[in-house]
Amino acid sequence: MTDPILEAVAVSKSFTLRDDGPRSGPKRVLKAVDQVSLSLAPGETLGIAGESGCGKSTLAKLLTGLLPPDSGTIRFTGTDLQQLQQEQQRRFRRSVQMIFQDPFSSLNPRLRIGDAIAEPLLIHGLANRADCRSMTTALMEQVGLSPELHDRFPHEFSGGQRQRIGIARALAPQPAVLVADEPVSSLDISIQAQIINLLLELKHHQGLTMVVISHDLAVLRHMSDRIAVMYLGALVELAPAGELFRRYRHPYTEALLAAIPRLHPSDQHPPIRLQQGPAAPSGRSSGCRFHPRCPYAQEICRQQAPSLQEQTPGHAAACHRSSELYKT
């Protein structure tokens, strides 16, 4: 079995909040990521799904080293990020790059786009200023942008074009891993397809390993080899993408799949009626974190939190009733 290129082992991250702003009101602890373990094989695309506020973006920042975990370990090629020496940290930051969620705020409005794309080349010593323009225009062409746009500012571009600029910037240091946080959520449907196809093409031609984060399971089905489903900071299901859609094994995944619009009524998943709206991340009850909304919940679900356990080879779910509800 191939050793993972990127790995999270029992990783947790919490934030302290105040109800009435940063300096007043009672404190609340929001556990954004709770004991998450997953691994990423070289060349694999792992999709991470879940509703807004489930901890997907925080997990992305942990995987890229932008946030330190409160507990647990993030490993790159087997080495704990917390133990990397300065030169090793530079190599890691070059090797693992992030495409940010919002193409409108992730670019410096005062920086010409050619300079924004060239910045990683200069930081990592991959080019001098004399070579930067030719390398930058090559990256622009790679993501479908005309080199003539090199000296324009971000406000002169559409959302889809700005996302292409962000992708070019992430590709500049020649990374091994791309972490894309909701790369198409703020774009029109037609532009979404263009960006998805661009990422798939880049993966194929450059052998990239990718983590793609989305609330849209249909996007992840098209892009991913495996899909991890998160709910209130924890993984509740992890499976090969095709297997997840054919034989889901958690009620929350069932609800997500039932919510995907279909063109023909016969293709619809049977609806699952959830008991209430999403719980607040800081107000989680005891037992299974999904039990207040789950129509299948029993007393054990209210009392005891289930662990993520393999139900069939390569397919794990955190549900006490998984084998009973979702028979093979």
pLDDT tens for 105-157 read: 889 999 999 999 999 999 998 888 888 899 999 999 999 999 999 999 999 99
The answer on pLDDT for 55 being more than 60 is yes
CA 177 vs CA 189, 244, 328: distances in Å = 26, 24, 35
pLDDT tens for 270-312 read: 667 777 666 666 556 689 999 999 999 999 999 999 999 999 9
For residue 217, how many C-alpha atoms fall within 13 Å in the half-sphere facing its CB?
A: 27
Q: Is 61 left (phi over 0), alpha (psi -120 to 50) or beta?
A: alpha
How high is the pLDDT of residue 296?
92
Q: Which of 196, 202, 240, 237 shows the shortest CA–CA distance to 214?
A: 196
CA 285 vs CA 28, 61, 281: distances in Å = 14, 26, 10
Rounded CA-CA distance 68/79 in Å is: 15
What is the enclosing helix (H) or strand (E) of 159? helix 159-171
Given the DSSP bridges, would you call strands 6-18 and 27-40 parallel, antiparallel or unpaired? antiparallel
How high is the pLDDT of residue 268?
56
Rounded CA-CA distance 189/168 in Å is: 21
Single-letter code of the amino acid located at 54: C
- Using alpha carbons only, give the angle 244, 245, 248 rounded to the nearest 5 degrees: 50
How high is the pLDDT of residue 273?
72
- Does the pTM of the predicted model rise above 0.85? yes
Percent of the chain past pLDDT 70, that is, above it, reads 90
